Chain A
């Protein structure tokens, strides 16, 4: 549930598969061109999944299906990758430890 002025994220299709340009690989031709943007909710209230209008950072009115309220960044440094440690050991070994280059 979101109320007016809440910061939300909306999503919609910009071009359906049949409206897309001809110069596309086959797999891309099968899917729509989709768009995501954030803004302040202009509707009085809305539930996730509702079609809503938002006011974006640049002052545009944009519409779409509301998919997130208070959207957060979930990017991080990812899972441990053991190869990184191995590269480090190998590089230090090659430069300082007399190991094979």
Chain B
């Protein structure tokens, strides 16, 4: 049989390919209305939080330490008003086998793939998730293909992504590298069809469920060490799985910590642009992923994403590229830890947010990530400069993504800037409401209120403004 491999034909077979490549029939969670059964999807994996904890222990993942960053706290207090400056902690996720929290997301997917008899796993990722899946596939004895977006049309690769390719290959994976474009998911569908491997999607319930252990650990670690919960947990936000999983884990542990999302501000840069691809210094944890995935979670490689960050966010702040580079240097020179840089996005935000809080409060940046050649402030700043990006000291508020990187001229200029969460909530409601088949029902309104962590009144207001009839 000749298989049509055109873009239209392959993406047209998406539902069928994904069903075969995951053993999950997503259609069973649809209700024929705006709503879908999110919690059922999360609970149907067959893995409870306790199962994830046990599996991760079995495969050397998790139980990472928390570190109090006393010098950074001291510096934040010098920048803050008297009495302000919460204790800043970081969870050292870099100490996972492949160097990031993403391994929590990979364990159950790879385990499930093996249990179901798949010979290998495939993941679409230019980031740490590739190394995480490769590491788990190595440990659990499966083949692994990582598909990454890496080069522009001149063949120039983002140093950070080139390093991820090296790491994946070091862990035994095949790395298929692509030039810029959203057809990455088309290539993945073709690979799934060709190999019959398991789709270890970042957005599956196996993956996002695995991150719940991070939130669970945080709650228990702070109770053990400080006798209380953290007041604020800052999560870097891109596809939303990190925040979603962490928040769900915290809730399951009974923690009332505020959840603050943080992304690097790349406003104005198109993520699918060939010419702009190498004019950015951050390939993840940025607004180019964070905002579209928050407002429209279901445009990934699965029909329904388990990562639904708007459900759990209390606030969403942005930081500039120059500020994340700066905090990465601060972590090295004041705390003796070389990590990141992308994994320090939440730490940059935490440094600024701590200054709003009282000194007896606790704020935690819930991840670090490994560093290495290519993936480090020096090669990344050198690459930016080579690509014509100006690097200067000044007020990062004036940074223009794609034109310059402004390092704070002094530490007090590092700020966390409020993103308009209500605007994002409205955007999600507007998109999802298009599925309405008649007047919007009370059940649909309640669902949208959950999706946006808002209220029935808020949802009703937005729907009325959009001209929808309410049942």
Contact = CB atoms under 8 A, between A and B. Distances in A.
B68 interface: no
Given A32-B179, A94-B75, A81 B385 contact: yes
A95 interface: yes
A57 B332 CA distance: 37
21 contacts: A15-B7, A20-B181, A27-B275, A31-B179, A32-B179, A34-B179, A35-B178, A38-B174, A57-B145, A58-B144, A58-B195, A59-B143, A60-B174, A78-B380, A80-B378, A81-B382, A84-B329, A88-B333, A90-B410, A91-B75, A95-B71
A79 B382 contact: yes
A91 B378 contact: no
Contacts of B374: 75-76
B417 to A, nearest CB: 19
Interface stretch (B43-51, B159-167, B229-237): B159-167
Given A31-B153, A94-B411, A84 B144 contact: no
A12 to B, nearest CB: 11
A15 B7 CA distance: 8
Contacts of B378: 77-78, 80-81, 84
A33 B411 contact: no
Contacts of A53: none
Contacts of B153: 31-32, 34
A87 B410 contact: no
B57 interface: no
A24 B177 contact: no
A78 B379 contact: yes
Interface of B: 6-7, 71, 74-75, 78-79, 120, 143-145, 150-151, 153, 159, 162-163, 166, 169, 172-183, 186-187, 194-195, 197, 270, 272-276, 325-326, 329-330, 332-334, 373-374, 376-383, 385, 391, 393, 407, 410-412
B181 A28 contact: yes
Interface of A: 14-15, 19-21, 23-25, 27-28, 30-39, 56-60, 73, 75-81, 83-84, 86-88, 90-92, 94-95, 100-101
Nearest to B163: A75
Contacts of B326: 87
Contacts of B181: 20-21, 24, 28, 33
A19 B411 CA distance: 49
Contacts of A14: 178, 183, 187
A92 B333 contact: yes
Contacts of B270: 25
A75 B373 contact: yes
Contacts of A78: 159, 376, 378-383
Given A27-B273, A27-B274, A59-B143, A36 B7 contact: no
A35 B393 CA distance: 38
Given A28-B272, A59-B143, A92-B334, A76 B379 contact: yes
Given A24-B182, A81-B377, A88-B329, 12 more contacts: A33-B178, A33-B179, A33-B181, A33-B187, A36-B176, A37-B176, A37-B177, A38-B169, A57-B172, A58-B143, A58-B195, A78-B379
A55 to B, nearest CB: 10
Identify the 7 closest CB pairs spanning chains A and B, nearest first.
A78-B382, A78-B379, A57-B174, A75-B374, A31-B153, A58-B174, A34-B179
A81 B270 CA distance: 27
B410 A94 contact: yes
B133 to A, nearest CB: 12
B395 to A, nearest CB: 14
Contact of B159 (A15, A75, A90, A94): A75
Nearest to A79: B382
A20 B184 CA distance: 11
A86 B391 CA distance: 12
Contact of A83 (B276, B330, B393): B393
A52 B38 CA distance: 47
B151 A36 contact: yes
Contacts of A28: 180-181, 272-274
Contacts of B385: 79, 81
Contacts of A76: 373-374, 379
B274 A95 contact: no
B379 A95 contact: no
A34 B178 CA distance: 5
A23 to B, nearest CB: 7
Nearest to B405: A83
Contacts of B330: 87, 91
B194 A60 contact: yes
Contacts of B411: 90-91, 94, 101
A91 B333 CA distance: 8
A90 B151 CA distance: 35
Contact of A19 (B6, B144, B166, B376): B6
A95 B151 contact: no
Contacts of A91: 75, 329-330, 333-334, 411
Contacts of A15: 7, 183, 186
A69 to B, nearest CB: 16
Contacts of A75: 159, 162-163, 166, 373-374, 379
